[in-house]
Each structure stands twice: as structure tokens, then as C-alpha cells.
Structure 1
């Protein structure tokens, strides 16, 4: 069984799906590993790092032709699809709910596809959860970016010239990214507040030393461990409860995303008008529309005296660490799916069932193949 590691082609992407260390472990399990030339170069991994552990470095076309399993981080694109053959197994984040045309194209090629972003939020899948591993780094980098863009420092500082009061940070969404953002901002000395539709995150927030802004969430339960889209009534209550903190904040980080859907608008232009002059807003949900009404993906805009940065901070900026974590997730996933390098195809098992989107050219829905 040959595993092909492809170079990422998405603009700005610097990660690689399998690091040399994990490639070595796959080889030890009995897989052959083919790596596209320069696949790891932007993550500080040289081709020789792969060949030294027994992997084979080849041109892109050869990897597509010879590999049984093709692994990426980002969705397969049109150029990839031209090279995919019937019977090949694809593994990447497919975001299948919002990209039905991609899933149909994969099915038309007669391929099989697993979507890594469809991993169920259950305890035994934690070490395969690429969204968690990557969002953890995104939360950290959001605070570092905010610190760089702000015109203030985070901690309380007492000097001969006077006392500097600590900055105030507000975080929307206490998932993996939000929790890491809270922890990082607290370590840097900021006063941190956070809010989330899931009241079960209150204890986690407070355990990190931040204040949780409670909003009545009756009827707003989460779905499968993820936050679900909030109702208009909840959005109104949240604005009322959070506005005071929002208007006092020096740095605001928004992380609220609903899988397969447009990001909810949590901060309107009217609210931005009342924010501190010079405040910074980092919108981590910008790729799916943004949590702030004024966010633009990949851009920094200044509106009403507020610097609004629309980004995923997908851990491209820490691509070495991000690649290592993603690769470890993939290793655990492949070990889960296979026995002595052969796929088990246990369609009754929850992890396999939820991540297997296309099987032998047929699209699966609700645990069944159409």
C-alpha cells in the first residue's frame, strides 16, 4: 500500500500533511511513502529529510499515478482531480457540507474520500481531530498577532514614570482556539473575558483565570460538541450582555464557526462604532464570512478607529508545529482504519462512518451509500 504526500497548492499555505518523523512511522508500519518534490520545504523539511528515513521523493505526476492513498491538508482542487484515478483513496479536509460540487467531482472519478474535518467529537477520536490540533495553534497566534498590532502592552507595569494598566481582551467562542487564546492572553498579563453559546464552557474559562460572560442559552444546545447557529433571540441577548466588555476591550478575538455553514455575525458595524479608538479585532472566522460585519478575509481594514483583521491564522505561520500535529492526527487515523496496511472498511464504526464521504465513486449520506 503506497501513501502519497502532496504539496499544498492553496495560496499562502505553508504546511505539509505528513512530516518526516511521521513518514518514518508509516514506513515502519509497512506502508511505502511517496513524497512530492518540495512538499515540506515551507515547513522547514527538506526532501533529504524524507529520503533519509526511507521515503521516495518524486514529481507530482508520479505521486498521483503510483499512490493508493493521497493525503493533503486542504481540499483537492480541479488540477488535482485531473490526476486522480478510479479506486484511489483521498484524505484531506473536504468541508463536504459546503462543497457538494467537489464531492460530486470526486465521485465521478470513481475514487474514495475521507474528510478530516468531519471527525466526530468523541473521546476516542481526539488524537485524530485535525480541527482541534490546528485551532489550538490558531488561538495562540491570534493573541500574538493582536499584541503586535496593538498600540499598548498586555501586562500591568509599574515604572518610575507611572503605572501602565493592563490591556483588556475579549474572546468570542470558547472552543479549542478560544481556550488557547485565553491562556495565552492571561500569560501575557491581560485582563481576559470570554463568552460562548455553550454554558458548559464557563468552568473551562474560569479555570484559566478569565471571566465568563453568561448569556441565557435556553434552547441553544450545542450539536455533537460543536456550537450550533444561534437564534436571533440569543444573538440579541448576547449583544446586551457583552456590549459593555466589547466597548472597553483593547483586543477582541472572534472564533465562532459552525461546521458547513456561514459564520454567525456577532459584532455589527453599529457595535464597532462604540468600540475603543485604536482597538484591534482579530476575526478567525473570516474564511467563512466572518463574525464581524466589517471583516474581509485576508485583509486589514480600519473602520471607526478600529483595526479589523480578517484571517484564519490557519497555522501557516507556525507551519513546522502545525505540520507535525496534523501528521500525527493522520497517523492515528490511518492506524485506526487499517490492519497490517489493509483497510478494514468497518462502516458500522462511528469514526469511519462519519469521515467516509465517498466510497468507490458513490456519495454516502446518513451512514449509507447512495
Structure 2
């Protein structure tokens, strides 16, 4: 039986991405699958329905989309939509199960095998499927542009007849994928860029992009031989004070620190914001997780004193075209692990071979990215997070 795959239209407010773009869809259909795209699914990414060429099918029937063997989405569908899915079918999307207990429960109740894109392990073999990284690249790039646009100053050094304008100072906190992309983009725009991360082993990556890695005076980030080492409590205190001092001197600060499955770490206090120079800008990429800054409000622009704080919660959607393209390729690469050739086709030409859904649970990528399976929540991290949240609610009720 041919595997049926359907692409859902996103329903989350402000979401412009789509899980499959035309050029990647053309590759997917070569796997002997039936691919159906919901009508209007690509509108937010400026992809009209007619851009999907045959043999891709278009459907305006929601039931037809959610009864496919495999449903692809950027964000997890709503409970009502999950309830339309067939038992044993597959959902591939971002889920953020720790924040969506109702969705997880619906997946369990309906016997859906759900692979959460945010759970894909960060191992070499899974790099081409790492949607967190691909979307973080988009977020970091856009964050630098948001900061540049919000500043009422030039970023690069300019020599004019009216005199020389010194380059703006941009401080990026967090040297993960998003942070490194923000550093690179701000540098290309001509700013003087500084990078900070509690993981001192990121120093080389930050400096390779032309930025200065911030380390408190007297604190050495490396042990003998150039390897990173753990900082002492005193050194950590020096680092924090160094961060405060550099924030006060920065024109723009971009924060990118996030911990999967947990609230974003609070790094920037109100006092630190109040110490920033007049007209400075802070862009908080961790807004959706509660924010790295205690003054951040998701999807709002807050003015505190003379400092402007931006808290966009879905930055990749602001670059919907390329963010969708990268995500679709991540999904295609993942699908090739579960849409496999049927046995006994040695004499059949490659383009004519039949495929089926199959799961090798000994494969680290599948084993770690599966969220629900056979009616059970199988990811221990999400299970623990939901359990802790449930206990906290019980305590509040008793109080």
C-alpha cells in the first residue's frame, strides 16, 4: 500500500511557515508516496497552491488531510484536529509537549506515533534533520536586523563630511546557533560585536566570526593545553559583573539563551536594563520561554525608561520563505528513516520500488525523537516536566 502523506495548514496565530515547499515536495514524491497539501497551506510563505506540481495533490477537506498515514506540520495541530487522525498514524512537527499537555493527551488517546522535531538528538548523523538549528539560524539573523532597525543610530562606522561616526556596539548573550548567527549578521552590518556565553568553550567560535568573547579580567577561560575548564564561584561572580558593565556600554543587546523543555534562564534584571545607555535596544529571542530579561513581554515592544525591549515569540516565521524551505528539507531527511523500501524488489528499477512505513526503534534518532507511541508518552523528559507541572497545580488547589 502506498504511504499517504499530508501537509497541514498551520492554525497558530502569526504562523506563516509551511511544513513542505514545492521544490522539496518534488523530492519527496520520488519515495513512492502520495503527497497531499492542504489548500492555502503555503499562503503565509508566499507559496500559491499552483506552485505545487503534479503528482502533488491539493485538498480543501480537513478530514482528508488528517486521515493520511503521515501528517506533517510546523506546529502541533489542535486537539480537535488530532482527534481526526487514524490510530497508528504518524505526526511529525514541533510539539513542545512540556507546554502542551492537552496535545500530548490527545496524541496518546488516539494512538498517534508522534515524532517531535525539537527532540531530534544533536548528533552528527542527525544534523540534516535538526530543525531546531535551522530555525535558530533564521531567528539569529532576523534578531540582528530587528536590533538594527530599532536603533536610532548607524551600526557601521561612517566617515562623512560632518565627521566620523563610530560603530555601534552589539552584545550577543548566548553563543548557540541563534547567537552565532546574530553575531555574524551584526558583524556583516558593520557593528562592533561582543559575544558572551557561560560555556567558555564557545570562545573560539565567537572569535572566528570576528567578535570579541567577553571574559572577566583575570579569568582564563582555558586550562593548560587550550581546553575549556569550569569556572570557580568567584570567577562566575566576576563574569556576571563584567556582563553588567558591558551591557551598560552596549547600543544593542541580543539574548538567545534557552534550555529545551524548561523556562528560559533569567539573565537580565530590571536593574541591568536601567543601567543601559539611553536609546539602547534589547531583543529577547527567548520571549516564548518566558524571556531572558525580566521585563520582556512576548510579542510586545516594551519601553522601560529610554531602553526598548523587543520580545518576538516566533522569529523564524518572519522569514517564512527560507525558514519553511529549511524545515521542509529537515522533514524530508527525517522521513527517509521511516519511509523505507519494501523487501523483495531486487529486480525493480529504483524509481519504481514500493515503499512502506517502518520504525527501527534501535535507531538513536527515532528512539530519542518519538514523543508518543502505542498510546503512551514515552519521552522521559517531557513526562517528568508534565508530572512536575501537574503536582504544582495540585499544590495550588490545596492551598
Is TM > 0.5 for Structure 1 vs Structure 2?
A: yes
Match of 2:243 in 1: 242
Counterpart CA distance in 2 for 1:147 and 1:21 is 32
Match of 1:187 in 2: 188
Match of 1:225 in 2: none
Counterpart CA distance in 2 for 1:309 and 1:29 is 43
Match of 2:75 in 1: 74
1:82-104: CA deviation from partner (whole Å, max 9, x where unpaired):
32221221110111234344222
3-state SS of paired residue (2:362): coil
Contact preservation (8 Å) 1:138, 1:312: no
Check if 1:357 corresponds to 2:383.
no
Counterpart CA distance in 2 for 1:278 and 1:100 is 41
Change (3 A) 1:92 1:237: farther
Check if 1:344 corresponds to 2:345.
no
User: C-alpha displacement at 1:63, in angstroms?
Assistant: 2.8
User: C-alpha displacement at 1:193, in angstroms?
Assistant: 0.5
Contact preservation (8 Å) 2:36, 2:65: no
Counterpart CA distance in 2 for 1:38 and 1:217 is 55
Match of 1:22 in 2: 24
Counterpart CA distance in 2 for 1:78 and 1:65 is 12
Match of 2:311 in 1: 310
3-state SS of paired residue (1:72): strand
Change (3 A) 1:217 1:295: farther
1:245-296: CA deviation from partner (whole Å, max 9, x where unpaired):
1001001000000001000111000111110110000000000000001000
Match of 1:222 in 2: none
User: C-alpha displacement at 1:234, in angstroms?
Assistant: 8.3
Contact preservation (8 Å) 1:290, 1:310: yes
Contact preservation (8 Å) 2:66, 2:82: no
Counterpart CA distance in 1 for 2:285 and 2:214 is 20
- Report matched runs for 1:1-370 at 5 Å: 1-50=3-52, 52-214=53-215, 236-340=237-341, 341-366=355-380
Counterpart CA distance in 1 for 2:69 and 2:313 is 31
Counterpart CA distance in 2 for 1:59 and 1:3 is 15
Contact preservation (8 Å) 1:136, 1:180: yes
Counterpart CA distance in 2 for 1:353 and 1:15 is 27
Change (3 A) 1:64 1:360: farther
Contact preservation (8 Å) 1:7, 1:36: yes
Contact preservation (8 Å) 1:95, 1:260: yes
3-state SS of paired residue (1:73): strand
3-state SS of paired residue (1:97): helix
Structure 2: tracts of 5 or more residues without a match? 222-230, 342-354, 384-399
3-state SS of paired residue (1:193): strand
Structure with max Cα Rg: 2
User: C-alpha displacement at 1:235, in angstroms?
Assistant: 7.0
Root-mean-square deviation over aligned CA pairs: 2.2
Counterpart CA distance in 1 for 2:85 and 2:234 is 47
Match of 2:390 in 1: none
Contact preservation (8 Å) 1:141, 1:313: no
Change (3 A) 1:65 1:90: closer
1:13-38: CA deviation from partner (whole Å, max 9, x where unpaired):
10100001111111111111011110
3-state SS of paired residue (2:75): coil
Q: TM-score, normalised by structure 2?
A: 0.85
Match of 2:346 in 1: none
Counterpart CA distance in 2 for 1:161 and 1:310 is 35
